[in-house]
Structure 1
Amino acid sequence: MPKRPASESPEPSSKRHRPNVVPYIKRLSDELFLRIASFLSISDLTSCQRVSKRFSRIATDGQIWKALFYRRFVRPRASRIPGVSRAPPSSLHYSSRNSRWLEDEGLARTSATNWKQLYRLRHNWNRGICSISEIDITANEPLPPLPPPVPPLLVRLHEGMVFTVDSTHGLCAWKWRNSKKSLIANADLYQSSLDLGSYGAPTAMAIDEDCDATKAVNITVGFENGGFCVYQLDMEMSSSTFRLRYIDPRNGPSPGNSSHGPMIISMAYCTPYLLTMTASQLLTTYRFEGSDDIDIDGSKGSAEDRERMMHAPKILTSLHSHTVWPPLSLSLRRSAQSSVIACIVYAFPLYISGWSVGIQELRFSDDADGVHDSRIATAVPSGFNPVPNMSPASPPAQSSVGSKSHSQANNVPLAQPTCLSYTHPYLLASHADNTLTLYLVKSTASSVSIDSGQRLWGHTSGVSTAQVSSRGKAVSMSTRGLELRVWELEGGVSEKRRLNASVRVESSQAYKGNDVVEEWRGDSQGWLGGFDEEKVVVLRAKDEGRQALIVYDFSR
């Protein structure tokens, strides 16, 4: 077939050239893009992170999440402060001024704050979302022939570290990093002059609230005979170790009579002050001064060890009470007047009308050896009458159904508290009738007072333990450890917030990698060990006398 002439061949179609035009959104500078992204919602910001690297960088910018953090977590707190709550809403807009950030001022000053991670942490607390890990503390060694304390293992959480102490495993410090747990230090309690026969099992533990956890942590442990020891966890060494700093040379009653002896049941520690309470209701305040070269193990040891030993503390007060009932709570804090305030919160019965709580404050100064001031207050309202006069000549006034006067509301009997937790200005009491009571303590230079209290509902079974922080965050636990709730109690709880003041943290099933934390049975028993900004630690009793630490991590 002859070829077609070149003139008759079809001309190739010209290619369609796309104009090399940059999309308008890419022409925007990062500053304008950041301004637009500041108006997006949380879900839109999350979607933007999956578009491109630039979108992800803009959507995770710290200034955006800083403003979101302020609007959701700081401004609602500021609106509950007296005086600020009556301010117009326009005056509570986002501000970078540190004075508007309340206790979060330190976070606002720090340039390296990860605001998105911090927002996620607070969000998880509000929703009760967390990951759960477990440490199985199996007691293979035979238990000593002594009645174990309740709980058998004492647990405290401080600056991300978990401290445990018992007569079998001694004093231990655990660390959690990215859900990986490790034992960083361990010390045998019964060494040298400290023996099990004379001191008995540990019954109380307190951690110094005034120490720098990046350098050293001071821990004090109380025993059945009323004695105590002070340890220091040195964090600056290559391998963290416990150092024994002081042994109380006390010979109390035999452990078999510990129920009637001066067993230490509660402690509070704030360098250089130590506050102890015994089972015989003896409140003692100590103050440590200087160091000493006490011989611990029969040899003088190195100069460094001698410098770390402390002199015997000076007893500032020793008070005995016949009206204090358990449970009770001890605390130490520093005031603005350069003094230290020691507080004891206790329960006491009312005549055939339930229970109430009281507080006693003892003020100390570093330049005096005694009590500078002492004040007492109770939550019993003025004019309270436990047995109202009901004579036929003066019948009670009739009231409509559903109405209740203020005096009648205050006269509602309260069940005996199962636990008391006090961190100024919040006092939280748990009860076996599924409720909690929140009290606000007002302490000034001249007086101290407690309000009548607010009842809190949310638990479906009796509440065994509860703890509250100075910012109003609280954690409570049911008697059998089946229900853990987180509370936001800052500024008190109004009627509108009462139903949403807590959220339940589900603990029936939790996953860590391929391991499954066992379900809690109905007869399992648990104790609340403490909580911080990221974690909650619970001690759980398991089968065959085993124990486990359950860590609820809200940062993931």
Structure 2
Amino acid sequence: MKHQLEDALLPAPKRAHTLVGARRSAPLTFESALYDELILAILSYLHWTDLCAAQATNRTLARLAADNELWRATFLRTFGLPRLRGVRGFPSREIHPLPKRARQLPLSDERKDWKWMFRISSNWRTGRCRTEHWNDSPIFTGDKQLPVQAILAGSLTITASGNTIHLRDSTQCSHIMACPSHITAMCIDQSAPTSHTQRLAVFLVSGEIIIFSLDPHHLALSTQQMSSTTGGQSQRITQAVYHHPLLAALSDDVSLSIYDVSSSPVVCTQTLTSFTSYPPASMVLSAPNPSSYKLIMCYSMYVYPHHWTVGATELLIAGKEPPPLTRASALSTEDGQPFTTTSTRTMRSITLPFGFIDKHSLAAFKEQWGRKVIGVAATQTDGKWVVLAPQDPGDPGSSSVASSMYSPTTLQLYRLSLSSVQPKLTFVRNLHGQNGPVSSMALADGRCVCLGANGSICVWDLEAGTGTTVAQPLKNVKESSTSGHALVFDERRVITASSQGMIIRSFDV
């Protein structure tokens, strides 16, 4: 007879493994079924608007949709370049989203926030910005007889009026520097920095040239590096470009002076005069290699009998280092001197044909002839693009001046082709969106910013072919109230400065 165990000694009965009534411990979801890498691959196919909307779904998608590498690919696919555009002479700074970018970060934590870079570039396209007013500087005296000049150099904002230079950094620290006489032009050094300081060249009405050494981290340590008076300069300097040790200055009669500022005193190595170039003009300087510089100028050109068009000239300037052996034999002894021009090439938007031409050439010439203007308000170039802003043809004494302050103004966009044997200045398209006459214009890195006489600001992306209005026209504004305004911009800001104060429109929001 078998012995029966008591129930207390028996092990617990096993549960029957059947499909009926079986339940999972956790429900199968989109996030739990797929790896993060696979979800990122799926998100890479989304448009950036859908990518932003996906972040509000749940925590997992909010984390993965903010992936930095994902936004890097989206940024490059949408905007093309791996940096923020709109700056000339200064590389794009590493940025961080708020509030991280407001404090100093260790060097190991510095990286590009591609999502925030995408936001800044998107704000440029839509015109979304934050407006800030500065009128606490001593240069804002309200005297309209003293024009204001402005320069953006990284985190440093430089303004000048009369004989006073005002420096301000991103932390709102400021410093004042005084000059012996009134300032007519100034420019920042665009060469690669060899130290933490930056050079600023200033031209005075007395003909004196002053080179300042600026310390962006300690503004009070900014000092005057050298000062020199150049003889024989009878015309006032209105524009200048600086790539150390080469300094080029343009006078109000469009005479070009080239200076060597490698040591004190400053030496004027060459002066060039043109009989077919008229203001307004602009220029851009670059250094393709250590042995030469490239200076590109655009200016107004007269078209008989009473019209105007735009022209451009490329100047190659010898540097201090000897040129390559392949070119040395082609240069004369005079051309081989440092900081003198070795070659020049000129282009104009209207090319007059010679001899007999066919109907296709005649149609092309008539199209060029139709783009001549009564007057030129501004011309700007960045070395690749040239923009011509026509002048308002209205008579200041007529009753149509008030209406012309808000009438559309069409700008002309041209493309510089300098790589070919025969350089060309080719018309691309018209730029629309500007209302009223043009007061100031700035162009850099394929982006054009235009300030209207009525206070409006328009921005065009010349590479993408888009444009937007950043500031709407002001009501009941007089044309003289915006004349002489300084207009500058970089990859994050647009600044307009006058004797009344400064307005900063920041797209870093």
TM-score (norm 2): 0.74
Q: CA deviation at 1:313?
A: 2.5
Q: In the superposition, relative to structure 1, how do residues 460 and 158 fare at CA in structure 2: closer, same or farther (>3 Å)?
A: same
Equivalence for 1:304 = none
Task: Give me the whole-angstrom Cα distance separating, in 1, the residues matched to 2:139 and 2:269.
Answer: 43
1:284 corresponds to 2:257: yes
Task: Give the whole-Å Cα distance in 1 for the aligned partners of 2:278 and 2:384.
Answer: 21
CA shift for structure 1 position 231: 0.7
Matches within 5 A, 1:41-440: 41-74=47-80, 112-137=111-136, 148-149=145-146, 152-167=147-162, 170-176=164-170, 182-189=172-179, 195-196=180-181, 201-212=182-193, 215-235=196-216, 237=218, 240-249=220-229, 261-289=234-262, 310-336=263-289, 338-352=291-305, 354-363=307-316, 364-367=318-321, 368-369=337-338, 371-384=340-353, 405-412=363-370, 413-433=372-392, 434-440=409-415
Deviation at 1:158, TM superposition (A): 2.2
In structure 2, give the amino acid aligned to 1:429: L
* Alpha-carbon RMSD: 3.6
Q: Does 1:536 align with 2:494?
A: yes
1:385-411 deviation digits (Å, cap 9, x = unpaired): 9xxx9xxxxxxx9xxxxxx93322111
* 1:538 aligned counterpart, secondary structure: strand
Q: Secondary structure in 1 aligned to 2:477? A: coil
State the secondary structure of the residue aligned to 1:60.
Answer: coil
In the alignment, the residues of structure 1 paired with residue 388 and residue 195 of structure 2 have an alpha-carbon distance, to the nearest angstrom, of 33
Shift of 1:281: 4.1
Residue in 2 that maps onto 1:444: 419
For residues 159-178 of structure 1, give each alpha carbon's deviation from its aligned partner in whole angstroms, at most 9, with x where no partner exists.
2322101226x2122233xx
SS of aligned partner of 1:124: helix
Distance in 2 between residues matched to 1:31 and 1:138, nearest whole Å: 53
Q: Structure 2 vs 1, CA of residues 31 and 415 (structure 1 numbering), >3 Å: closer, same or farther?
A: same
Letter in 1 for 2:460: W
* Alignment counterpart, residue 468 of structure 2, candidates 498, 503, 510: 503
Supply the distance in 2 between the matched residues of 1:250 and 1:424 (Cα, whole angstroms): 29
SS of the residue 1:415 aligns to: coil
CA contact (8 A) 1:138 1:547 kept: no
Q: Distance in 2 between matches of 1:475 and 1:248?
A: 35
Match of 2:331 in 1: none
Distance in 2 of aligned mates of 1:56 and 1:72 = 21
Shift of 1:467: 1.6
Distance 1:33 1:172, change over 3 A: same
Tell me which residue corresponds to 1:522: 477
Distance in 1 between the 2:140 and 2:442 partners? Answer: 32
- 8 Å contact kept, 2:280–2:377: yes
Amino acid at match of 1:249: T
Inter-CA distance 435–528: structure 2 relative to 1 (3 Å threshold) = farther
Q: Which runs of no fewer than 5 residues in structure 2 stay unpaired?
A: 1-20, 82-90, 96-108, 322-336, 393-408
Cα offsets for 1:310-331 (capped at 9, x unmatched): 4212322112334431111132
- Which one is further off, 265-274 or 318-327? 318-327
Q: Identical aligned pairs, as a percentage?
A: 21
Structure 1: distance between partners of 2:68 and 2:120: 15
Residue type of the alignment partner of 2:320: D
Find the residue that maps to 2:365 and give its secondary structure.
helix
Runs of at least 5 residues in structure 1 that lack an aligned partner in the other structure: 1-15, 76-102, 190-194, 254-260, 290-309, 390-396, 398-403, 492-496, 509-518, 541-545
Higher-RCO chain (CA-CA 8 Å, sequence separation at least 6): 2
The offset of 1:344, in angstroms, is: 3.0
